[in-house]
Homo-oligomer: A and B are copies of this chain.
Amino acid sequence: MSVQERKQRERADRERLIVATARELAEQQGWDAVTTRRLAERIEYSQPVLYSHFRGKREIIGAVALEGASEMAVAMRAATAAADTPRERVAALAHAYLDFADRNPAVYDALFQLDGGLAYAQDDTPEQLKDAFAALMETLSEVAGDGVDPGVFTEVFWASLHGIATLSRSRRLLPEDAEKRLELLVDRLAVL
């Protein structure tokens, strides 16, 4: 049975290679440049091989999104762990979020801008996404304020961060006010 195991392992390796290559290509040249042909060429296989791993391009985007969600959760937890006060934790969280979006624009797009065929805010939402939301909520719960549902508060705070992330990346906001916007958001939304 060892032969089959090796084949399975090789298949899993190749699947990871596809996702990693798609991500790399997307970060380098944008998702538009991630065509099935180019992707196939980079992994040194023919196009149909991609379809033996994923139903289509959208599922590849979804795979990159899930990978990104996990990393984002780690980044946010790491940032908040080092902070002492609630104020600092929220600020660190917001910074970590926007930093991630800034440094991994393609992954961020896969997560929140493109259609990766994933379910959000539902029962069948993948664990990685639930956990990323949980990472947000852990820090935001303590500053939601009395009588405000932590989930709703997290949604609002997240939406604000998302708006800032997307609008500033598409150059629809003034770049020089980035820090002021973040401070304002934290000071006003969080109840300290």
Q: Is the interface of A mostly helix, strand, loop or mixed?
A: helix
A150-188 vs B: 1/0 string, CB under 8 Å?
011101101111111011001111100100110011001
The reply to whether B185 and A156 contact each other, CB–CB distance below 8 Å, is yes
Write out the residue numbers on chain B whose beta carbons fall within 8 Å of the beta carbon of A189: 188-189
CA distance A37 to B113 in the complex (A): 26
- Does A167 contact B159, Cβ atoms closer than 8 Å? yes
Interface size range of chain A in the complex:
20 to 34
- Output the least CB separation between A97 and chain B (Å): 12
Chain B residues, CB < 8 A from A121: 171-174
Q: At the interface, yes or no: A127 with Cβ under 8 Å from chain B?
A: no
Chain A residues in the interface with B (C-beta under 8 A): 112-113, 115, 120-121, 148-149, 151-153, 155-156, 158-164, 166-167, 170-174, 177, 180-181, 184-185, 188-189
With A120-B170, A121-B171 given, is the CB distance from A177 to B160 under 8 Å? no
Task: Assess the B152–A177 pair: CB atoms within 8 A.
Answer: yes
Please indicate the chain B residues that have their CB under 8 angstroms from the CB of A184 in the complex.
148, 152-153, 156
For A172, the chain B residues whose CB sits under 8 A away are 112, 120-121
User: Distance (Å) between the CB of A184 and the closest chain B CB?
Assistant: 5
